[in-house]
Amino acid sequence: MKEFDVIERFFAQQSHQRKDVLLGIGDDCAVTSVPEGQNLATTTDTLIAGVHFPHDTPAEAIAHKALAVNLSDLAAMGAEPAWFSLALSLPEVDENWLEGFSRSLFDLSQYYSIQLIGGDTVQGPLSITVTAQGFIPQDQALRRSGASPGDLLYVTGNLGDAGAGLDISKGELSVSENCETYLVNRLNYPAPRLLAGTALRRIASSCIDISDGLAKDVMHILKQSDCGAKIFVEKLPLSIALKEAVDIEEAYRYALSSGDDYELLFTVSEEQKGNLDIALANANINATCIGQLNGVKQKLELRLNDEAYSLQRSGFEHFN
């Protein structure tokens, strides 16, 4: 099967068609229309076999994650998804693999109303690059800058599950069957917090998605907002499965340093706390206050039961 046969069979035909896509797959470029009063947010992520996912990861999980991590970036900016392109490098044409990959990709894209509008397919080591775009009302984009001393620090969902799921996948952690299923699914099928992102517009003073670990990603906010922060480790939200799988100290380590959670980490001023509570309740979103920002520039302090807490590893790093 040749390149254009792969595109036509597995990617050109999709049920979800957006009205703002004037010209999609099949030409040299896609042509799209940005609504009046909206800014366009653009993000790109690459997943490489053996780096971002184990080589034996199912095709369905790879497709889901490749798109979900880009959707998570859009969520962190408060954007609503619109379009994406896909660059796929394959060692060989495996029709069964492509069938599972494309089906999962389109299941997720249809759920979030985002349309595939183009891309590229080449032969090479397995890697997937997605570029996603979405709309944000003018002057309402969430940023990593904008936080101030005194702002409260929040995180959506639970932390550390994906890190434990990765260790299970690598054979480095043994848990019960129920815990294994839950934790590995949290690794392979992250849920982008798009509803939370749009709910935080005009409320959050800063926001970022957690891809490389809480302790590492919070530093991006601290550096760009020129603040410090204190995190209360005992307040970190942990799933029942994680607490059953490992002891509490190990659970804290996963929550602070493991990547792939794709939850939103955001700050809110004391004055906006009431609006935040209303927005979260209206959208049925779970978020936990885990700390507070201060004026000690670009310094993160971890406290556990009011005592200093030391973390050996801060998070995932591509270049060591």
- pLDDT tens-digit map of 280-310: 999 999 999 999 999 999 999 999 999 999 9
What CATH number is attached to the domain comprising 278? 3.90.650.10
If DSSP codes are grouped into helix, strand and coil, which group holds residue 8? helix
pLDDT tens digits for range 56-95:
999 999 999 999 999 999 999 999 999 999 999 999 999 9
User: Which residues does residue 291 pair with via DSSP β-bridges, in sequence order?
Assistant: 153, 231
> Is residue 150 a contact partner of residue 292, using CB atoms and an 8 Å limit?
yes
Last residue of a domain, one of 137, 168, 196: 137
Q: Which domain holds residue 44?
A: 3-137
Q: Kindly report the pTM of this predicted structure.
A: 0.94
> Is residue 233 a contact partner of residue 309, using CB atoms and an 8 Å limit?
yes
Residue 44 domain-assigned (yes or no): yes
Residue 319 pLDDT = 47
> Is residue 72 a contact partner of residue 106, using CB atoms and an 8 Å limit?
no
Residue 20 domain-assigned (yes or no): yes
Please determine, for residue 222, whether its predicted confidence score (pLDDT) is greater than 90. yes
d(CA 38, CA 55): 40
Residue 143 domain-assigned (yes or no): no
Closest-CA residue to 157 (of 253, 269, 242): 242
Do 109 and 228 lie in a common domain?
Answer: no
> Is residue 277 a contact partner of residue 288, using CB atoms and an 8 Å limit?
no
Do 166 and 95 lie in a common domain?
Answer: no
Average pLDDT over residues 115-126: 95
Residue 232 domain-assigned (yes or no): yes
If DSSP codes are grouped into helix, strand and coil, which group holds residue 159? coil
Confidence of residue 10 (pLDDT cuts 50, 70, 90): confident
Residue 272 domain-assigned (yes or no): yes
Residue 316 pLDDT = 55
Percent of the chain clearing pLDDT 70 (strictly above): 97
Higher local confidence (pLDDT), 5 or 139 = 139
Mean pLDDT across the chain: 94
| H-state helical runs in the chain | 3-6, 59-77, 95-111, 161-169, 177-188, 194-199, 214-225, 240-245, 248-257, 273-283
Residue type, 47: L
Do 80 and 181 lie in a common domain?
Answer: no
